[in-house]
Structure 1
Amino acid sequence: MASPDGHHDDKSSVIIRCQDTSSVGVTFCDRFSLDADSVHYAVELRAPGLTARVNEVVAWIWDSDLTAFLEELAADYRGWDGERSWRTNDRDLTVSAVCRSGGYVGLTWALRPWTRAAGGWGASVTTWLEAGEHMTSLAADVRNFLTGTEVDSPLGDA
């Protein structure tokens, strides 16, 4: 996807693969900026029988940060009770997190574009990652992606 000014970075992406089922995953890609206040990017979900994509998720500099949410999850690698969640200001991307015994974090990635429009759609997948190191790597990769530092690190392959 090219930005309106023609700047497009094909190399920068973050791929998250579920440790339990490698065919389930999430990709952050096609990042571009229109101004100093925001970063636009695409999010793709994959699972057997499912492919979903939102082309223009927006991260605002004044918005709550996905990276900070992921870093908090990584810091609490010993676990927590209940569910934690984060969402974009436009509510087109939501991430919910739960902990299960054995040191695993379940991240449910939900796409719901056009939430106010009739005929909107939604899709979600859940990726399971090891708490601690994998969550720390995910947070760093997402931070690098959103800030424009070159990454191409498929999580779950390590």
Structure 2
Amino acid sequence: MSLFEVSAEWSELVVRSPTTTATYVRLFDWARVDEHEITLAVEVVADGLRARLDSVSVSVWDRAGDLTEFLEGLAADFRGWEGERSWVTDRLVLTATFHSGGHVQLSWGLRFAEDSWECSVTTTLEAGEHMSRVASDVRSFLHQG
């Protein structure tokens, strides 16, 4: 099972930890709202957990900035950093921490506003090549069409 799975025409993108392939994040159902906004569905899966948001909006107007730029920044800092770095929208939170051995833990959090409920799963990736590939694949997925 590969770390990244991309199906035809970028209909979905799956990010897995190489060591715990049962834990993953799936981005799918991409749609363009207008020239400044897209929506997508996000599913997180881990042992005993499966949660899904059907409509996550990502806009050029988001205070969090561009998700691909956030991931590219993590990839560029492959030698590490102190503390946490976060990318946050109203329904999706991505937190990154650097760990010894050159690994990055990405915590993918989903916020279910109507229930005031949150969940998250963590994928662990190699700081260099794996982070660069995630950043590139997310850019391709989000900027399709």
Quote the Cα distance in structure 1 between the aligned partners of 2:9 and 2:139. Answer: 17
Of structures 1 and 2, the one with the larger relative CO (CA 8 A, separation 6+) is: 1
Larger radius of gyration: 1
The structure 1 segments of at least 4 consecutive aligned residues displaced by more than 2 Å after TM superposition are none
Q: Are 1:134 and 2:130 matched, yes or no?
A: yes
Counterpart for residue 6 of structure 1: none
Counterpart for residue 107 of structure 2: 108
Quote the Cα distance in structure 1 between the aligned partners of 2:120 and 2:59. Answer: 23
Is the Cα contact below 8 Å between 1:69 and 1:86 reproduced in 2? yes
The alignment covers a number of residue pairs equal to 136
Counterpart for residue 34 of structure 1: 33
Q: Secondary structure at the match of 2:137?
A: helix
Q: What percent identity do the matched residue pairs reach?
A: 47
Quote the Cα distance in structure 1 between the aligned partners of 2:61 and 2:77. Answer: 25
Q: How does 1:1-158 map to 2 (within 5 A)?
A: 11-63=10-62, 64-88=65-89, 91-114=90-113, 117=114, 119-148=115-144
Query: Structure 1 residue 10: deviation in Å?
Result: 7.8
Q: Which runs of 5+ in 2 are unaligned?
A: 1-7
Q: Root-mean-square deviation (CA), in Å? A: 1.5
Quote the Cα distance in structure 1 between the aligned partners of 2:117 and 2:9. Answer: 27
Structure 2 letter corresponding to 1:137: R
Quote the Cα distance in structure 2 between the aligned partners of 1:141 and 1:73. Answer: 14
Greater share of strand: 2
Quote the Cα distance in structure 2 between the aligned partners of 1:87 and 1:10. Answer: 27
- Describe the superposition over 1:16-58 as per-residue Cα deviations: whole angstroms up to 9, x where unpaired: 0012211001011000012112000001000011100001111
Q: Which runs of 5+ in 1 are unaligned?
A: 1-8, 150-158
Query: Structure 1 residue 11: deviation in Å?
Result: 4.9
Greater share of helix: 2
Structure 1 letter corresponding to 2:86: S
Query: Structure 1 residue 132: deviation in Å?
Result: 1.0
